[in-house]
Structures are given as structure tokens and as C-alpha cells.
């Protein structure tokens, strides 16, 4: 398993950023994500839980798909994003993003994990731009 | 999903207002959007069934989901 992590500061308060986070997709930065749908959503003990289904265009290179399709028995990507008010400035928000990438059943599993991780890293940067883009939209009160 | 677009739009509008004006201000009562959510997720689940989309790892919500979040192997 490969673990990748990054931190980023948004120059907006937490309330603004988390509202934008719910409305992150679709956006012009991550065009591979066609849309996102809610399957289930509940407030449990004051926590909001959502199950959502993301519809994407699969953008791995063809050779990787060809490898992973028939041979790989298991692969998984888990992501955790935490948005917190910035400890030094309540007008800012600190994002901590972690991805856990696991590929099993291939002799070159580690190599594929590295490729997936670098893709996640690039997409995460686009994701942060997308949040900024949504915030702009929210602030100009355009309908989401 | 395109098939559920109008349901999604109505629900998202309700959810965004509820999240901003109620939930972030401490209210846990989410009943105001529950009818719209039911219509919307009903549509999504139907389309998933029609398209044979099976989410194998679907697990029920756990109250501790955020604190015990660690990757687990699901073979």
C-alpha cells in the first residue's frame, strides 16, 4: 500500500469551503467526473453522513487498463479529506488530504501504485482549484 | 445521472439551503428535504438497477465512521 498526503490552505472561512465542497462536481477542472449523485444521507448524532455515487470517465492509460483488467485481483483507492478552520487564522481553512492506494496480484503492483498515486496528486491540485471555482460561483450568487 | 437531473436539482437546492441555514447553525433536523431526497435517491437507485451498477462495498452508516476511518482490505 502507498500512502500519499498533502495540506492546503484556502483563504476562505470553513463554512464557505464546506458549502463549496458539497457542490464540487461537476467542474471544468476535473472533466473526468461527469456527475455525483446521493444514494443515502442521514444526520446521526449530529454528524452528516452521505453515500454518493460518482460517475466518471475512466482515464487510466490503455495499457494499464489492459493489465489491471484481467490480471489484477484487487485494487483500491481510499481518500480522506479533512477541512478544519485554520488554527492560526479563523478566516482561513486547512485541508488535509490523504490517499491510500493498494494494488495486489501483479508482479509490478508497486509500480502501478506509484502511477495511480501521481495521478491522484495531479487530480488533487485540480480539486483545490475546483473548490475555489465553486466558491467564486457561490459568492456571485449564481445558481449551483 | 441525466435520468434524475430534475430530482437532483430540486433536492440540491433544498439541501444547500438547509446545510447553510440550519445544519451549520446547529440544527440536526433534516426532515425539510426528506421527501425530495426520497424521490431523488429512488430515481438514482432505479437507474443503478437498470444499468446493473452494483456497489459491492455498500455498508450501513456507522456513528463512528469518521473516527475509525482506516483503509481495510475487502477482497
In the DSSP assignment, the letter for residue B25 is G
Task: Kindly determine whether residue A41 and residue B8, on different chains, have CB atoms separated by under 8 Å.
Answer: no
Q: Do residues A95 and A8 touch, judged by C-beta distance below 8 A? A: yes
Quote the pLDDT of residue A83. Answer: 97
Question: Could you give the angle at the alpha carbon of A75 between the alpha carbons of A74 and A76, nearest 5°?
Answer: 130
> Per-residue confidence of chain A (144 residues) as pLDDT tens digits?
999 999 999 999 999 999 999 999 999 998 989 999 999 999 999 999 999 998 888 766 666 666 666 655 677 889 999 999 999 999 999 999 999 999 887 778 888 899 889 989 999 999 999 999 999 998 887 555
Segment B1-7 mean pLDDT: 95
Quote the pLDDT of residue B16. Answer: 96
* Cell 481510499, located at residue: A78
Please report the domains of chain A, with CATH numbers, ordered by start residue. Answer: 2-139 (3.30.530.20)
Extended beta strands in B7-72, E state: none
* Å between A55 CA and nearest CA of chain B: 8
Give the integer Cα–Cα distance in Å for A33 and A29: 9
Closest CA to A91 of A15, A7, A6, A8: A15
Report the predicted TM-score, pTM, of the whole model to 2 decimal places.
0.81
Q: Is the pLDDT of residue B73 over 60?
A: no
Task: Kindly determine whether residue B15 and residue A22, on different chains, have CB atoms separated by under 8 Å.
Answer: yes
Q: A97 contacts in B (CB within 8 Å)?
A: none
Q: Coil, strand or helix: which one is A143?
A: coil
Q: What residues contact B48, with CB distance under 8 A and at least 6 apart? A: A53, B54, B55
Give the integer Cα–Cα distance in Å for B49 and B43: 10
pLDDT (tens digit per residue) in B23-64? 999 999 999 999 999 999 999 999 999 998 887 655 666 554
* Å between B50 CA and nearest CA of chain A: 15
Amino acid at each position: 500500500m502507498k500512502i500519499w498526503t498533502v495540506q492546503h490552505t484556502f483563504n476562505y472561512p470553513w463554512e464557505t469551503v464546506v458549502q463549496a465542497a458539497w457542490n464540487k462536481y461537476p467542474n471544468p477542472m476535473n472533466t473526468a467526473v461527469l456527475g455525483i449523485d446521493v444514494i443515502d444521507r442521514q444526520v446521526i448524532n449530529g454528524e452528516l453522513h452521505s453515500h454518493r455515487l460518482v460517475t466518471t470517465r475512466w482515464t487510466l492509460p490503455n495499457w494499464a487498463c489492459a493489465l489491471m483488467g484481467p490480471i489484477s485481483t484487487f485494487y483500491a483507492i481510499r481518500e480522506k479529506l479533512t477541512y478544519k478552520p485554520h488554527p492560526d487564522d479563523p478566516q482561513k481553512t486547512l485541508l488535509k488530504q490523504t490517499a491510500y492506494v493498494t494494488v495486489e496480484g501483479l508482479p509490478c503492483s508497486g509500480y502501478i501504485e506509484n502511477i495511480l498515486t501521481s495521478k491522484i496528486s495531479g487530480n488533487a491540485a485540480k480539486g483545490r482549484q475546483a473548490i475555489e471555482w465553486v466558491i467564486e460561483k457561490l459568492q456571485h450568487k449564481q445558481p449551483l | 445521472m441525466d435520468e434524475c437531473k430534475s430530482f437532483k436539482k430540486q433536492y440540491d437546492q433544498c439541501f444547500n439551503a438547509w446545510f447553510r441555514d440550519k445544519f451549520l447553525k446547529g440544527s440536526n433536523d433534516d426532515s425539510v428535504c426528506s421527501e425530495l431526497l426520497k424521490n431523488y435517491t429512488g430515481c438514482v437507485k432505479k437507474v443503478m438497477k437498470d444499468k446493473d451498477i452494483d456497489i459491492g462495498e455498500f455498508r450501513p452508516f456507522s456513528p463512528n465512521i469518521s473516527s475509525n476511518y482506516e483503509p481495510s482490505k475487502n477482497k
